[in-house]
Structure 1
Amino acid sequence: MSIGGRIMASQLTIGIVIAAALADSINPCVFGVLIFLMGYMLTAFKSKARLLIGGLIYIATVYVTYFLIGLGILSAAYSANLTNSLYMVAAVIAILAGILEVKDFFWYGKGPSLQIMPGGAERIKKYTYKFSKFNDKHPAFNMVLAVGLGVLVVFVELPCTGAPYLAIIGLLASGEYSNGVPLLLFYNLIFILPLLVILGLVYTGKASKQLEAWRKKHRGLMRLFIGIFLLALGTYMFWLAS
C-alpha cells in the first residue's frame, strides 16, 4: 500500500465504522439465532425480569467475544508485520462477500451463500435443549448458559457475519494501533444495538414467532443492503491503496 493510502486509510471515519457495524448486525444470521434464543430464554427463565437479565448477559458476552476476536486479529497483524496483507485480503473478501450477498437478494439460498458454520444452527438448538433439562433443577444455571451461548454463537456466525468486521479491521490495520482499539470498541457497541432492540421487543411482549416472520420477509433486503455496502467498502479500500 502506498504511504498516501496508509495516511488516508488511517483517517477512518466514524460514519464508515457505524455503517459497517450496522451492516454486520442486521445480518439475517444474527437475527435468526437471537430470535430463537430469546424465545428459548422466555420459556426457560419463567419471567420477563430474568429474560432481560439473561438477554443482557448474552449480548454483553457477544460484545466482549467479538471485540476480543477483532483485537486478536489486529494485534497479530501488527506483531507479524502483516498489516498491508491483512488490508488487501480484507478488501478482496469484502467484494466477494458483497457479490454473494447481492446474489441472495435475487436467488436466496441458491448456490454459494454466506451462512453460519455447517451444522451450527442444529448445534445451538441441541445445546439449548440439553441445558434446558438441567435448568429445571438448577435455574440459576440459565445465566451461565447465556454466557456459553454468547461465545458459541459468535464463532458459529462468523462465516456469515465476519466480512464487514474484517474489512474494518483491515482499515484499522493501515493506521496506528492505538487509534484502532477505541474504534473496535465503538464498532462492537454499534453492532449490539439491534440485538438490544430485539431483546426489548421480546421483553415488551413481541412474540419471537412474529419477529421471525418479519426476518424471513425482509431477509432478502437485508442481504441486498449488506452486499451493496460491502461492494462499496471493498472498492473504497482498493481506491485508498492505489
Structure 2
Amino acid sequence: MGFDRVVKFLLSCLLFLGLLFAAFPSQAVAEENTLEVYFFYSATCPHCMKQEPLMEYIDETYEEIDVISYEVTQNPQVWDNFREEYGISNAAVPRTFIGEMSFIGYTEQEGDLEYNPVYNGYSGYRNQIIQAIENQAGIDIVLPEEAEENSSSGLPWYVFSLSGIYLVSYPFVRPHLKSSQKQRYWIGGFFAVLILSLFWFVTLVPDALIQQFARQLPFPLFVSIVALADGFNPCAFTVLIILLSLLTYTKSRRDMTIVGTTFITTSAVMYFIFIMLMVSVGSVFIEQYGNIVLVVLGILVTAAGIINIKDYFFFKKNISLTLSNKQQVAITKRASSIVRNLQHSTRDRRFFATAIGGTVVLAAFVNLVELGCTAILPTVYMASLVQRCQGGINLCGISWTALYAAIYVVPLFAILFNFIYSFKSARITEKQGRVLKLVGGSFMLFFGLVMIAKPQLLMLG
C-alpha cells in the first residue's frame, strides 16, 4: 500500500519536530490552516482495514486535513508517546486522534458520541469520526457513493490456463502412466499446479480488492471450510476405525453407538480446549509482533502441507505427520481393553462404566498423540479468529471455536453411522490414506502461502 515510505518520511519529520520543540506535541500542526489527524492501526486488524480507506480518502480529497498513519508494530515508540500524552493504557487499535479527542475502534454504523472509560476514548462510529474532523477543520466532508462494482475483467484469470493445459494433456500422457506410482505423480502434479495457480492469482490481485473480498466473505463459511478440511484427518480416522472395528465383536449396535459417540464427543471437547489454549498464546504474540508471527506460522503450515503432499507419493517415508506403527499398536491395545470390558458388562454393569471411562481416556490420549496431525489447520483458524474477536479469549472466540470443534467431528460421526449401519470391520487402505494426505496437504500449502504473502485474506467478515 506504499505505507512504508510514508511512515519513514513522517517519522523523520516527527523526530525533527521533537528536536525543535523538545517535546512531543499532542496536536502537531504542519501549516496554520491544516488539521493533522493521527491514525494508528495494525496490519493484522480487520477493523483497521475497514477504516483505512476512509482515512485515505479524506487525506487525498481535502487539503485542509493531513491524515498521518502509523502501523503500531513498526512504530512502537510513536504509539507509546501518543498513549502517554493522552493517558491511554490500553493498546487496542484502530485509534484515531483528532485534536483533543481520540476514537477507539471503527464501525460504519451510525451512533451517538459515546465515551468509553475502559479505553479512554470515544467509540469509533464513522459518523462521529467524520463530525469531529469537520468541527476541527471547519469544513464539510462529503463521502462518495460506495462503488459496488469491482470489475472482474481486470482479474488475472489467465493464470489458471496452466491448470487447463495440464488437464488437456492427460490423453497424451496416459499411455505413459501405467504404474500406480506414475499415476500418483500425474495427479499430484495437477494439485501442485492448481494450488500454485491459485496462489499466483491471489498474489496478482490488488491488495484493495483482496481486502474487500475478505471483508465480504462470511466468517462462518471460512470456519466451516477449514474445520471440515481439518476433520478429514487420516490420524483421527485410523483411531476411530480401529476402535469401531473391534467393537463389531461385541455384536451390539447399542454399545457401538454409545462408545463411538463418547469417543467422538470427548475428541471434540479435547480439540476445543487445545484450540483455545493455542488462541490464548497466539493472541499475545500476534498482538505484539503482528505480521512476523503470521509469516512464521505460514512457514510452519506450508512445511506441514509439503510433508503431507509428500506422503501421497512416498507414504510414511522419512518425515511424516502420521501415527507410527508403535502408536497404532498402543492404541489398539487400549481399544481391545474397552471391548473386553463391554463383553464382560453383560454379567457386571460396572464393566460398562469402566469401558466408557476407558473410552474417554483413549480419546484424550489419542488427541494428545496426534497433535502433529491436527495442529496445522487450527493455526490458520487461530490467526483469523484472533483478528476477528480481538484476542479470541472471550465469548466471540469461544462460540466460534465451539462451532469449529462441532464441524471437525462431522466426518467422524459419518464413519460411526456407516459402521452402525453396516456393522462390518473395516480399515483405511493405503490408497485412501494417500488421497487424504494429498487433499489435506493442498489445503495447508495454500493457506500457508496466503499467511506468508497475503495475510489480508484472513481479515474475514
Quick check: TM above 0.5? Answer: yes
Question: For the residues of structure 2 that align with 1:41 and 1:147, how far apart are their CA atoms?
Answer: 15
Question: For the residues of structure 2 that align with 1:32 and 1:216, how far apart are their CA atoms?
Answer: 11
Counting only pairs closer than 5 Å after superposition, residues 1-242 of structure 1 correspond to structure 2 as 3-7=42-46, 13-44=219-250, 46-78=251-283, 81-83=284-286, 84=290, 87-116=294-323, 119-135=326-342, 136=344, 138-175=351-388, 176=390, 177=392, 178=394, 179-209=396-426, 212-213=427-428, 215-238=429-452, 239-240=454-455
Question: For the residues of structure 1 that align with 2:247 and 2:297, how far apart are their CA atoms?
Answer: 36
Larger radius of gyration: 2
Question: For the residues of structure 1 that align with 2:300 and 2:325, how far apart are their CA atoms?
Answer: 20
Q: Is the 8 A contact 1:104 1:220 kept in 2?
A: yes
User: Matched residue of 2:409: which SS?
Assistant: helix
Q: Give the Å deviation of 1:170.
A: 2.6
Superposed CA deviations along residues 14-62 of structure 1, whole A, max 9, x for unmatched, are 2332222122211221111110011123324x41012111111111100
User: Matched residue of 1:57: which SS?
Assistant: helix
Q: Is the 8 A contact 2:316 2:322 kept in 1?
A: no
CA RMSD in angstroms comes to: 2.5
Identify the structure with bigger relative contact order (alpha carbons < 8 Å, sequence gap 6+). Answer: 1
Cα 1:131/1:58, change in 2 over 3 Å? closer
Q: Is the 8 A contact 1:117 1:156 kept in 2?
A: no
User: Matched residue of 2:375: which SS?
Assistant: helix
Superposed CA deviations along residues 201-233 of structure 1, whole A, max 9, x for unmatched, are 000115232xx25x4332212111111111111
Q: Is the 8 A contact 2:234 2:322 kept in 1?
A: no
Question: For the residues of structure 2 that align with 1:134 and 1:221, how far apart are their CA atoms?
Answer: 35
Question: For the residues of structure 2 that align with 1:222 and 1:134, how far apart are their CA atoms?
Answer: 33
Name structure 2 gaps, 5 residues minimum. Answer: 1-40, 50-210
More strand by share: 2
Following TM superposition, the consecutive aligned residue runs of length 4 or more in structure 1 with deviations greater than 3 angstroms are: 8-12, 84-89, 129-135
User: Matched residue of 2:315: which SS?
Assistant: coil
Cα 1:199/1:134, change in 2 over 3 Å? closer
**Percent of pairs identical after alignment?**
26
User: Matched residue of 1:112: which SS?
Assistant: coil
Q: Which letter maps to 1:199?
A: L
More helix by share: 1
User: Matched residue of 1:227: which SS?
Assistant: helix
Question: For the residues of structure 1 that align with 2:293 and 2:398, how far apart are their CA atoms?
Answer: 16
Superposed CA deviations along residues 126-151 of structure 1, whole A, max 9, x for unmatched, are 22334544552523322112211111
Superposed CA deviations along residues 65-98 of structure 1, whole A, max 9, x for unmatched, are 11011111212334xx212465444322210011
Question: For the residues of structure 1 that align with 2:276 and 2:436, how far apart are their CA atoms?
Answer: 27
Name structure 1 gaps, 5 residues minimum. Answer: none
Question: For the residues of structure 2 that align with 1:124 and 1:185, how far apart are their CA atoms?
Answer: 27
With the length of structure 2 as denominator, give the TM-score of the two structures: 0.47
Identify the range of structure 1 (150-159 vs 134-143) with the bigger mean alpha-carbon deviation.
134-143
Question: For the residues of structure 2 that align with 1:107 and 1:184, how far apart are their CA atoms?
Answer: 34
Q: Is the 8 A contact 2:301 2:444 kept in 1?
A: yes
